Structure 1
């Protein structure tokens, strides 16, 4: 039992089947790993970016272009808060979601957070497959990803677990996530 003078960093007791939230840089595989993890656990899956697009009836790129990043982050915060109310769900967040103080606090209080990590070279190769990343438009992906990682690493490090997303079959990373959760 926690006393009133327990440290502010004390985590609440986890609830059964609480949300599993994947955080990390764009291109690390949160959506791909999340879908497979949800299937293995018989959980639902939600991609926060897809949920934002449904709610806004616009693509993430269109939201960034029309309203800017602060507007997008506000919508992202609300969508993730709604998803965190559910049990038995795996949530893939956008790369910057866990950097928002309010979103991060909610995820840490109500879910199990997994930082999926990969080397910058791997991320550059993966993000090159899709041209829909607003933060990379017209810029050098390696430079942008290096700068973003420098800004975000300390936030990601607050996640409950840290798992490497390897250049290997996705099921290997899913297995590593399952081991981390079970530990």
Structure 2
């Protein structure tokens, strides 16, 4: 089946832990489907006029989550597109309900060791500041995995090129739409 056959009638929202590839896979998925791509984190930064680390430092996580929810609600009103969310977005009950009601959610899931290796390369993640990435990811997984499991589709990814994950998502999306 072609990518065009998988084009959904609702926005595709990618959820999962930091480092799983929501933005990288999302961009390629959008391209494959001929849809626009949006990154919720980028949109939040644009709306707030500051970076996410600055928002966390100056206003705290609760203010960030509130702004994130408002931005995602606005994005879900736009024409069908692929939306990469921040790792904690789907954890917020109101954001999760918005996504469930208005989009198709896809949990990108990968081994924690792979994610730790990926996120350990950057110092731009507020939740990792001065902490052991694998330990933070384990704690986040414990809280978030039961919530991510509420996504419409789960795609297990590995340490492979992003295109492999895109192909997996396209296959899962095609199967999901066929059963809808």
Q: Does the pair score TM above 0.5?
A: yes
Aligned to 2:113: 121
The list of structure 1 runs, each at least 4 consecutive aligned residues, that deviate by more than 4 angstroms after superposition, is: none
Matched, 1:43 2:35: yes
State the shift of 1:165 in Å. 2.0
State the 1:129 CA deviation. 2.0
What is the RMSD of the two structures over their aligned residues, measured on CA atoms?
0.8
Rounded to whole Å, the distance in 2 between the matches of 1:165 and 1:78 is: 29
2:158 counterpart residue number: 166
Q: Return the TM-score normalized by structure 2.
A: 0.92
Matching of residues 92-111 of structure 1 within 5 Å: 92-111=84-103
From 62, 69, 79, the counterpart of 1:70: 62
Give the TM-score, by structure 1 length: 0.90
Structure 1 position 42, deviation (Å): 0.7
SS of 1:91's equivalent in the other structure is: strand
Partner of 2:134: 142
Shift of 1:169: 1.2
Deviations 1:3-60 (A, max 9, x none): xxxxxxxxxxxxx631000000000000000000000001111110000000111000
Q: How many residues align?
A: 168
Higher helix proportion: 2
What SS is found at the alignment partner of 1:64? helix
Cα deviation 1:58-111 (Å, max 9, x = unaligned) = 000000000000000000000000111122210000000001111101111110
Rg larger for: 1
The unaligned stretches of length 5 or more in structure 1 are: 1-15
- In structure 1, which of residues 22, 26, 43 is the aligned counterpart of residue 14 of structure 2? 22
Query: Is the CA contact 1:124–1:142 (under 8 Å) kept in the aligned structure 2?
Result: yes
